[in-house]
Chain A
Amino acid sequence: MTTIRQVRTARRRSHRVTRLAACAVVLIAACNNFDVQNLNAPTAETLTEAPSREVLARTAIGIQTQALNDRGGIIQQWGIYGREGWNLLGNDPRETGEEIRGPQDPGGRAGGIWTGQYQAIRTLNVYQAALANAKALTPQEVKASLGFAKTIKAWHLHLLAIRSGPTGIPIDVDRPISEPPAPLVSMSDAMAAASALFDEAYADLQGGGSSFPFSFVPGYTGFTTPATFAQFNRALAAKLLVHRATFVNCAACWQQAATAINQSFITTAGLPASLKLGVYFGYTGAAGELSNPVSEAMTSDRYWVHPSIITGAQLRPNGEPDLRLTTKVALADDPRTLNGLTSSYKPVMYNDPVTLAPDLGADIPWITNEELLLLRAEIRWNTGDKPGAISDLNLVRVNAGGLAPTTLTATSSDAAFVDELLYNRLYSLMWTQGTRWIDARRYGRTAQLPLDRTGDVVHPNMLIPSAECDARRLKVPCSIGS
């Protein structure tokens, strides 16, 4: 039996004969190389065939830019799902229809925030494979790079798991395009896999030496060495563990989260300024670069504040509303009404604080000390340290909101704690990550979100996109088990 190699050699040989014959008979032209390369853009071979240090460094930059994928959709669409705001532009009926009232369309909006995430994961997988042949890097640099890549990949998987909830997601996607798509796994399994990946990454970063063999785009200030990046890793890992504890009832996760958060960059020193400490999705708005996707002029009719955010704000001792509201919204010149929805306020947290002009270079928080304090409050309450939990909540209430300390005590009910926790999470984290929708889902409180019109609903999760079901030859909408 002839092996493939023999056939190939034979072919090559016979090809060489033809080519030689052609050369001998004719001109040099026939001997020309037919492997014409693509000079218009780098191709995937750049990464798979003995990648240079420069190529790997650039891929790390690419991974950092792809972490920004879908951010506008996450803030606005999940914001609409969770009633942080509305899109009242009126150019697309889905904004006030499908997204608030349903039915969800897996071929449209409800199937979004998927492709962009998996594109990022594809780059990460190719990068990880390239690191395996990376002779241009020291073993320490390879570890540091792997730690970086696995951290970002785990975070993408976490995001996808939240997005999809019970439909499940594919996670084992590092396979050739010609093979059948990766199987769907449950939210619980996907999150567990992401946790394991965070831990692997953490271990890699520990052995990653003192610097990364690549630069960082804006937003990572203070977290650009393997040691400091490891703190960012632990922050994200802790958040995932809290989500696992609440979303999929992982009882052991609370304790693991307590360990992780203590290894993160959480701090009580330097408040209130240190609330902002953390990692951001960085934008520059420069020509040819990415702009903040949600920053818009006061005159824009696109994104508006949900009225419940205005009315729900607690008052400071001076009778004024929570500082976290007053610094993040502004009264528009005219209220806007569309399809029975009316709002008077525009979110301005990404605008110039004085002129309210849009700031296309405004960064969006990824994970900050403010969120970590709230996560620790949640962890402490659930691991028996209720006074500690109240103390963390108060650090945020006082320093970020200018509010009086909470009236909660260690004997307050869990429900009362969750009320207070979710209030603070909303006002601290609104318009960054769809927190109101996610928190309502985590605590089974979607029914408590405000509905504005008869027939409106809160969507429990996003759907697997039609194209994904089609490629799997499953009936749309599909989910794990279908």
Chain B
Amino acid sequence: MRRPLSRLAVTGAVLVILLPAASRAQTRTITGTVTIAGTSVPLSGATVSVPGTAATARAGANGEYRLVAPQGSVTLLARAIGYKRITRPLTADQTTADFALEKDPLLLESVVVTGQATTVDRRSATTAVARVSGEELTQVPSPTIENALVGKISGVNLQSNSGAPGGGIQMQIRGNNTILGAFDPLYVVDGVIYANERIAGGRGDITDAAFATAEDDAVNRVADINPADVESIEILKGAAASSIYGSKAANGVVIITTRRGQAGQNSVRLVQRLGAFSPMRTLESRHFTQAEAVAKYGSGVAHWFATDPSPYFNHYDQLYTTSNLSYETVADVAGGTERTRYFIGLTNKHDGGIERNTGFDRQGLRVNVDQDLGSKLGVKVSSVFNRSANDRGWNNNCNNFACNGYAFAYTPSFVDYKARDANGNYLAPDWGINANPMQTTDLAKNHEVTNRFTGGVSTNYDAFNSTRQSLRFVAAGGLDVFHQNNQLWSPNELFYEQTQTLPGTAIQNDGDSKFYNWNLNAIHIIHGSGFGGWSLNTSGGMQYEDRQVEISRTETENLIPGQRHVGQGTNTTGTDSLAQERTFAFYGQEEVRLLDELLLVQAGLRAERSSVDGLVDKYNIFPKISASYRVLGLMGAGSELKPRIAYGETGNLPTFGQKFTQLGTPQLGGLSGFTVAAGSGFAGVEPERVKEVEVGIDGIAMHSRLTWELTGFQRNTTNLLLQRVPAPSTGFSSQVFNGGRIQNRGIEAMLGLTPIQRSNVTWLVQTTFTQYKSEVKDLAGLPPFRPPLSGFGGLGVTFIQEGKPLTQIVGRAFDANGNRTATDVQIGNSAPDYRMGLVNNLTYGPFDLNVVLDYQHGGDIINLTQFLYDDSGLSADYGSAAWTERMKGYNGGVMTPYIEDASFLKLREVSIRTAVPRSWVSRAGLGARTISVGVSGRNLLTWQRYSGLDPEVANVGSAAIRNNLDVAPYPPSRSIFFDFSVGF
């Protein structure tokens, strides 16, 4: 396998060395300036080129360029990211050309990543592109970049796991593709592979949750990225696009580029935002008369009726209120000279939580520096330090009422959590459960702090450059390290702790993640004039990556009263787990443009070995091939129609440890033993493999005012990581193996329109549509089974079954005669039927209005919160006809009444902003150049069918197959911020 590859590399190298010797044409020099249309602002970084040749020049700080072009008449192309291109023919004797570029709200001129160090312009891209600019991300403040993406891209399903401050989101690109493997996309920030671990803090061990800490609502660590730093986000959705990242890219790749300085554009920006979060929805509960209360809870509860004959306390209102003041301060400085460019960004953010004593903070310092060394060598350094902290409170499933929502479901409405006795102490619970959430949220701590550094260096060497060909070397590397620390404290005096044999619990959890990677690339481009103009772009390289994640947790019980550290209890236990992974890959890629460069064909191969594979010396090959053809002028001048087709393969690595058969270490009589564990490893374990075909037809029409992208895909994940039950007489009860197949098929569409684009008015509308369906095609002989963390037995669970969607929910239902079915049947599907997003952006003079709508159609949710209220007899609709109907299910062990429609329409973002007139700015005397003020809101309105809090919820957010399980989560919130921005 390696032979042909190395041969390829050798051939490539020879080609690279020989070609520069080819003859050079006579040249001439063209100069000019590039500015922003309607202004005299120079566009530094714009490129001017002669298509069909390697002649390219970059505009400097003053917008001036100097292009060495072939002799004779030529066509010049001027372009800059964020601006529409201009082509202009030049006669043989013209030596100057100035360009004024118009803004490009539809991002038609962006480039698309095609390799570790190669890109292609979006107009030619052979695969679907999802790209969002930093500006679009930060219209409305958001806790994490994922929140800010919602509604703006197609092919991606983003859902929060709860309303807790500080993140916790699942991002699914083109559906679920795995059962036991990794399910998150790969994140790459400025070329550095970025860890998106979910490290549970240990809350579940205090709250006695069924899946222990899997129900902790852990933050996925992409939350550490500061949206204000982001220049753009590009999402590689299909296998043909993401294949360049090999066996970690089955779930797609999110490529984040941060802001950098531009020569000559020195700027200082200060943004101050102030706002607050408030609860979006709460739940009601049953009203009681004194007689009903005494009948249900005994005469001991009569005192609640002493002053008010019909007391009613909404416990959500008691615990979840408008947050304290939230703020975000962003200060950044950017600029530089021709040779040295810099960006320095500082942020300080605090999001208050609607639950008492919860919240999220993030501080960050980013320094990005670009330095040119001579005319051929450039170095880019990116670095960021972030600190994120959160207090996410007490929610989700639990079994000792330490969680708020769960406790509410068992607390009758006549109970006032705020009531205190004569000495100011919390009243001992007399309502059947041993917990008062007011006391819990006042005294218990669930605190998390993460410190993180991410840094990378990229070096670009232009070894050779002529009008006909160029050769470039790129070396890049970086590291991403973080330490997450969780401190949990459940003090002795809490009512639920008092019922324990060993009251008082403290947990210290430490997660340590170290990722580093480097890559080396050579890129050779050659242009020719045959076949109506062609070019050949050959690139190759190698990549190494190392990942280490260590999680250690110490828990102690029976604390000394008042003490909160793990050294101060008597029953102390500790766990530690270390996962390590190393990958090395070679890759090569050929990009061919033919027929006046309108036809683009790309093909590539990546050969990769990883330490988590069973056979660590074996290289797995991931190929891709794709093509696009641009048809010009079919729908009027400047219009383009581009059919495209792509095939690619990518992988999903085995998880660490799947190849090992572990030994158990039982202890007895103070002696420690070894036993062969029940799970057998698989010494030959391989990556899962996604094979995907993608076709699409994209267009640009109406003088670049309309653009669309329409894509259909079919992806098969084969060689799945599965678990079988071998004959128990082997001594093993499970074994991992590779086999089976899951299919995902879907359609995604994007339509962008600028109905108005005039000098003082721009109206931009962009809509996205995403629909996909999964089906389990083959289970390699396994009987249908419940995957890990699939839900609570009998209460609606995810169930893997051939011929069914991966996301089906099964449980007992009523048959035609109203009897309980004998076996589980499909009663729902957690995946939505489709999702749509609508972005509206209107700029009128100094005013800017931005509205984002997000619609989900279908999908089912399991309302176990309602189930809890029915279990306690405290449902708000107790005794009603609807209640009677639902209780038939409750009493009969049938879950259908608790399966609800998860459709929703959310007004995700609204912002209105205006620039303060210049005369006022100068009068203010701050020395400022621009000032703008605005107000923005997130999640202001929701329309939903769901009777619970929020259809966007996952009790087990760490499950590969999201099961939309609602078990008393942190309620959703809306936020409103005022902002004030000054530019110097």
Contacts and interface: CB of A to CB of B under 8 A. Distances in A.
Given A41-B665, A173-B729, A181-B730, A287 B573 contact: yes
A121 interface: yes
Contacts of A282: 668-669
Contact of A65 (B662, B673, B726): B673
Given A36-B582, A470-B783, 4 more contacts: A44-B662, A59-B675, A122-B676, A125-B731
Contacts of B674: 42, 46-47, 55, 58-59, 61-62, 123
A284 interface: yes
A118 B669 contact: no
The 3 A-B pairs at the shortest CB distance, nearest first, are namely A122-B731, A61-B673, A62-B673
A76 interface: no
Interface stretch (B172-180, B275-283, B609-617, B911-919): B609-617
Contacts of A289: 667-669
Q: Which of B580, B610, B674 has most chain A Cβ within 10 Å?
A: B674
A268 B735 CA distance: 51
A59 B578 contact: no
B660 interface: yes
A40 B577 contact: yes
A32 B582 contact: yes
Interface string B524-551: 0000000000000000001010100000
Contact of A44 (B571, B657, B663): B663
A472 interface: yes
Nearest to A59: B674
Interface in A276-297: 282-284, 286-290
A287 B544 CA distance: 44
A418 interface: no
B611 A44 contact: no
A41 B662 contact: yes
Q: Which of A14, A34, A114, A182 has most chain B Cβ within 10 Å?
A: A34
A218 B668 CA distance: 8
A46 B520 CA distance: 38
B571 to A, nearest CB: 6
Interface in B659-711: 660-678, 680-681
A18 B6 contact: yes
A217 B6 CA distance: 59
Interface in A12-26: 12, 14-15, 18, 21-22, 25-26
A478 to B, nearest CB: 11
B728 A115 contact: yes
Contact of A287 (B546, B571, B578): B571
Given A35-B611, A62-B664, A177 B578 contact: no
A118 B669 CA distance: 23
Interface in A399-438: none
A181 B665 contact: no
Given A32-B582, A119-B731, A173-B729, A38 B660 contact: yes
B673 A64 contact: yes
A44 B676 contact: yes
Interface string A439-468: 000000000000000000000000001011
A356 B230 CA distance: 68
A123 B675 contact: yes
A27 B518 contact: yes
Given A47-B663, A290-B668, A467-B727, A34 B673 contact: no
Contacts of B616: 34-35
Contacts of A38: 656-657, 660, 662
B520 A26 contact: yes
Interface residues of B, number: 57
B672 to A, nearest CB: 6
Given A63-B673, A215-B671, A34 B730 contact: no
B611 A468 contact: no
Contacts of A182: 729
A26 B674 CA distance: 42
Interface of A: 11-12, 14-15, 18, 21-22, 25-27, 29-30, 32, 34-36, 38-44, 46-47, 55, 58-66, 68, 114-115, 118-123, 125-126, 169-170, 173, 175, 177, 181-182, 215, 217-218, 282-284, 286-290, 465, 467-468, 470-472
A177 B725 CA distance: 11
A118 B731 contact: yes
Contact of A61 (B657, B672, B678, B726): B672
Contacts of B726: 177, 181, 471
A39 B576 CA distance: 9
B923 interface: no
A119 B611 contact: no
Q: Which of A42, A55, A286 has most chain B Cβ within 10 Å?
A: A42
Nearest to A172: B729
A217 B666 CA distance: 11
Contacts of B662: 38, 40-44
B824 to A, nearest CB: 15
A399 B690 CA distance: 73
A182 B667 CA distance: 31
Interface in B593-619: 609-612, 616-617
Given A62-B674, A288-B573, A34 B666 contact: no
Contacts of B582: 32, 34, 36
A34 B611 contact: yes
B727 A472 contact: yes
Interface in B552-577: 571, 573, 576-577
B439 interface: no
25 contacts: A14-B2, A15-B2, A15-B617, A26-B518, A34-B584, A36-B580, A41-B662, A47-B663, A58-B672, A59-B674, A61-B666, A61-B668, A61-B671, A64-B673, A65-B667, A115-B728, A119-B675, A123-B675, A123-B731, A170-B729, A175-B730, A177-B726, A218-B668, A284-B669, A472-B727
Given A15-B617, A59-B674, A122 B6 contact: no
B676 A123 contact: yes
B680 A181 contact: no
Contact of A43 (B2, B577, B660): B660
A173 to B, nearest CB: 5
A177 B673 contact: no
B581 interface: yes
B3 interface: yes
Contacts of A36: 580-582, 611-612
Nearest to B516: A29
Given A22-B584, A115-B733, A181-B730, A29 B546 contact: yes
Contacts of B665: 41-42, 62
Contacts of A120: 675, 731
B453 interface: no
A40 B578 contact: yes
Contact of A181 (B609, B671, B727): B727
A26 B542 contact: yes
Given A15-B617, A36-B611, A118-B729, A126 B669 contact: no
A417 B663 CA distance: 49
Contacts of B211: none
A121 B728 CA distance: 11
Contacts of A60: 673
B732 interface: yes
A44 B682 CA distance: 12
B577 to A, nearest CB: 5
A467 B728 contact: yes
A263 B74 CA distance: 108
Contacts of A68: 668
B669 A218 contact: yes
A158 to B, nearest CB: 16
B668 A217 contact: yes
A46 B582 CA distance: 23
Nearest to A61: B673
Given A29-B544, A471-B727, A217 B669 contact: yes
A390 B2 CA distance: 82
A44 B663 CA distance: 6
A288 B580 CA distance: 28
